Amino acid sequence: MKDQAWLKAFLDEKVDQYNRKGFIDHDPIQIPHQFKKLQDIEISAFFASTLAWGQRKTIIAKCQELMALMSNAPHDFVLHHTTRDLKKLTDFKHRTFNATDLLYFIQFFKEFYSKHPSLESAFKAQTGMKHRIASFHETFFSLPDFPSRTIKHVATPERKSACKRINMFLRWMVRTDKRGIDFGLWKQIKPSELICPIDLHVERVARKLKLIKRKQVDWETAEELTASLRKFDPNDPVKYDFALFGIGVNDPSILK
């Protein structure tokens, strides 16, 4: 393995290469970037990260479809929808996420935003990302008679999940820099606390660079990867998600 100084310089170069405005055009993060209002950004980002499964073009198209069904005003929709409005959602589907799941998401957001100005408050009941995400999961499924099938669409470390989608959503909400890809809207969680999202591309590159050793991909693996990245930047370790994902998608041959 290359020494740590070389690896940091290499990853910093790749962060600079991929953490640019052009990234937005090809990534689901473009969905929340269509909005200015805090709550619209939060809700659209949560849906975009939840549906981030499969080819990015398809994910983006399905997210655009969903936003259109909500009249491109998700906060207003979840608070003030009618029964007729909900009927428009019954044909929506993306892979295993269907109308049953969508209607529960809408119900949760209606209840939550009727009492809270920001989804951030659902993540700050505990300290440490493992506890914050587990607490959020409990809050999300606190409504009576939630569909059991919907649980699989919102991960929790309590089920050993690496929580890729939630960690990506949190990166979008918490991280901030001059590049303007991530929003940096939430201030109760520090960028140093974030856990790096792990998808197939990130996993493959991280293993090649010896940043993770665990064979399975679970919460401990996500923590292991983030601990490795903190050695390069303890204040903003998850910025290296840009490097690992970017290499995996655009230039995996560089590691051969």
CA separation for the pair 140, 4 (Å, rounded):
40
167-177 average pLDDT score: 98
Asked whether residue 2 carries a pLDDT value surpassing 70, the answer given is no
Asked whether residue 139 carries a pLDDT value surpassing 90, the answer given is yes
Q: What type of residue is 179?
A: R
Give Cβ neighbours of residue 54 (< 8 Å, ≥ 6 apart).
94, 95
225-230 average pLDDT score: 98
Taking each helix axis as running N to C, give the angle between helix 200-208 and helix 240-250, from 0 to 180 degrees, rounded to the nearest 10: 100
Tell me: the pLDDT tens digits for 191-207? 999 999 999 999 999 99
Question: CA dihedral in degrees (10, 11, 13, 18; nearest 10)?
Answer: 140
pLDDT at 69: 98
Q: What are phi and psi of 32, to 5 degrees?
A: -65, -20
pLDDT at 10: 95
Asked whether residue 1 carries a pLDDT value surpassing 70, the answer given is no
Tell me: the pLDDT tens digits for 83-103? 999 999 999 999 999 999 999
pLDDT at 251: 80
pLDDT at 254: 78
What domain range includes position 83?
4-255
- Average pLDDT, rounded, for the chain: 95
* Maximum C-alpha span of the chain: 61
Question: CA dihedral in degrees (16, 18, 23, 26; nearest 10)?
Answer: 180
Tell me: the pLDDT tens digits for 46-97? 999 999 998 999 999 999 999 999 999 999 999 999 999 999 999 999 999 9
User: In total, how many domains does the chain have?
Assistant: 1
CA separation for the pair 236, 14 (Å, rounded):
15
CA 128 to chain centre: 17
pTM: 0.96
Tell me: the pLDDT tens digits for 118-138? 999 999 767 899 999 999 999
142-160 average pLDDT score: 95
